[in-house]
Structure 1
Amino acid sequence: MVGQMQISWPSTIVELILGLLWHLVHLLVSLFDLWSHLSDNLECYLISSGLLPKYRDLHFERLNYVGVVVDSREANNVLKIKQLLRWLSTIGVKYVVLYDIEGVLKEWLKPGIKTPRDENSRTNLDLSAHGGMAIECLSGSDGKEGIAKAANLLCSDFCNRNTHGHNKLDNAFTEADMVCALREVGSGGPEPDLLLVYGPVRCHLGFPAWRLRFTEIMHMGSLKSMKYGSIVKALHRFSHKYQNYGK
C-alpha cells in the first residue's frame, strides 16, 4: 500500500504540471490572438479615418484587375457585396472579377444590368452605379464548361493535323495553345493582379486556375467581418510587393 502511494504521487504531480503548462500555453495563444484581433481592428479604424498617412495615397500602376472570391454560403449577403463594390470603386479600382463556386452572385446581378459580350469575357458587367467600374461574374460551372470546350477544340485541331499528315512532334500541346483555345471559346479573360478571398479557408475556392498564373492571393476572412480598412491595407501591401516574373 505504501509502495503504491509512493508511485502514484510523482505521476499525479507530473500530470498537474503538464495540465498547468497546457492551460498556460492555451492562455498565451488566446491572449496573442486577442491582441492581434484588437490591433488589426484598431489599424483598420485608423485607416478608415485617414489617420495613417501611408495609406492615404495608393498607387495602382500594377493593379489593373482585382478578383474577389466569396464563399457561396456568404454570397447571399447582397448588402455586403454591394458595399464591397462601392468601396472598391471609391478607392479607384476599374475592373473587378466576382466569383463564387455556385453562381449565387451571377443570379442576383442579372436583373436590370446590361451584359455586353466581347472576345475576352462572356459576362462582363458594367455598373454605372459604381462609377462605371467593369464587373465580370464567374462561377464554378464557367470553369468546367470552359476547360471542356477548350479541350474539345484542341482535340479537334489535333485530329485535323493528323488528317493532313503533320509531323507528330507538332501535335504537342503547349500552354500558349491552351490559352488560345480558352480565349476562342470565350473563357480566357484577363488575369487578376490581386485576388481577395472571403471565406473560411485559405484557398481560391475553385477560381479558374488558368487565370491565376501570376496573381497575388490574399485571404480576407469572413465577408460579414469585412472592413474598408482591411481592403485598403491589402491594396497597400500589394503595391509594395516585388514581382520579377517576365524579367
Structure 2
Amino acid sequence: MTTTHPRGNMVAFHFRHAILLVVFFVMSIARNVQYVYNKLCLRIFSMTYYPNKSPQIIRDDVSKLGKLPKRISCIVSLRSDDDENGGCDGVMGDVAELAAWCLSAGVPSLTVYEYNGCVKSCVAELQNAVTKNLRAYFGLQTPSFTIKVPHTNEVVSTEANSGDADLEIAVLLRVDGKPTIVELARTIGELTASKELLPDDITVKLIDGELTELVGPEPDLLICFGPVLDLQDYPPWHLRLTEMYWEPDNNSVNYAVFIRALKKFAQSRVNLGK
C-alpha cells in the first residue's frame, strides 16, 4: 500500500493556490488596464463627437455615411434615483436626446426599450421632455413627433394626423418580448381548437404580421447603451436581421456611441440566406 505524506499534500496545495493567486492578479490587472483604456477611448470619442445641441453638426457627421438606418432601437437603463440623471426623469431625458439625434440625422423611427417600463404611465411628461429638448436643438421650428406605447395602445402626437409626424417614437418594455409571443401562441392555439383558424394557416408570415402589429417592425440597428451587451429580454422576434452595437464599459446614453453605431451600420452588409 502506498501512503501519501501529509507534508507533500500541503506543498502541492499551496503551490496550486499560489498559481491561482498569480492568475487572479494578472487577470485583475489586465481587466483594470482594459477598463481604463475603454474609458479613455470613450472620453476621447465624447470630445471628438459632440453635437452641442446643433442639428447641423449631426448632419455633417452623417453626411459622408453610405447609408442610414430607417429604424433605430435603443436599450436604455433605469438608474438609481441617487445617481446623476437617474430615475424616470433620467430615462425621459435620454429619450429626448435620442429623439433630437435621430431627427437631426434624418432617421424617421426610434424605438426605446427600457426593461422596467417606467415611462409607460407618464407619456404626457415624456412628450413635454422631448418637446423641450427639441426646442433647444431646433428653436421655434420644432419637428413633429409621435409617441406610441404598444402595450397600452396609447398614442400621443404633436400632429393632428400622427402619420404625418417627422419622427415616430415607440416605447417598449419587457412584456413586449417573450410574454407577448407566449400570449400570441396561446391565442393561436385557442383559435385553432375552436376551428376559427386552420393549422395550414399558421405560417411565419402570419406570426410576423401579428407580432409587427402588436410590437412594431424590426429595427435596422440596435444600440445598447450599457457596459455589456445585455439585451434585457428585448423582443427576440425583432432581432433576426438587426445590426447591434455597444461600447465596452459605457454606462450612459451619449452621442459618441450613437454616431459610432451609425458609422458601423453604414459599413455593415446584410446577407439573407435562402
Q: Deviation at 1:225?
A: 3.0
Tell me which residue corresponds to 1:107.
121
Counterpart check, 1:97 vs 2:103: no
Q: 5+ unaligned residues in a row in structure 1: which ranges?
A: 1-7
Q: 5+ unaligned residues in a row in structure 2: which ranges?
A: 1-9, 80-85, 128-144, 160-164
| CA radius of gyration, larger in | 1
**C-alpha contact 1:150 1:181 (8 A) present in aligned 2:** no
**Take 1:245 and 1:179, find their aligned partners in 2: how far apart are those partners?**
17
Counterpart check, 1:66 vs 2:72: yes
Q: Deviation at 1:93?
A: 1.8
SS of the residue aligned with 1:88? Answer: helix
Q: Deviation at 1:59?
A: 3.5
Counterpart check, 1:136 vs 2:135: no
Among candidates 198, 205, 208, match of residue 232 of structure 2: 205
* Deviations 1:81-107 (CA, angstroms, capped at 9, x unpaired): 322322232222211011222221222
State the TM-score, normalizing by the size of structure 2: 0.63
Matches within 5 A, 1:4-83: 23-24=25-26, 26-48=28-50, 55=61, 57-59=63-65, 61=67, 63-73=69-79, 76=88, 77=90, 78-83=92-97
Tell me which residue corresponds to 2:259.
232
**C-alpha contact 2:224 2:230 (8 A) present in aligned 1:** yes
**C-alpha contact 2:222 2:244 (8 A) present in aligned 1:** yes
**Take 2:182 and 2:270, find their aligned partners in 1: how far apart are those partners?**
28
Change (3 A) 1:68 1:10: closer
**C-alpha contact 2:146 2:168 (8 A) present in aligned 1:** no
Tell me which residue corresponds to 1:3.
none
**C-alpha contact 1:75 1:81 (8 A) present in aligned 2:** no
**Take 2:18 and 2:176, find their aligned partners in 1: how far apart are those partners?**
57
Question: Alignment length, in residue pairs?
Answer: 229
**Take 1:188 and 1:15, find their aligned partners in 2: how far apart are those partners?**
52
**Take 1:214 and 1:110, find their aligned partners in 2: how far apart are those partners?**
33
**Take 2:114 and 2:190, find their aligned partners in 1: how far apart are those partners?**
29
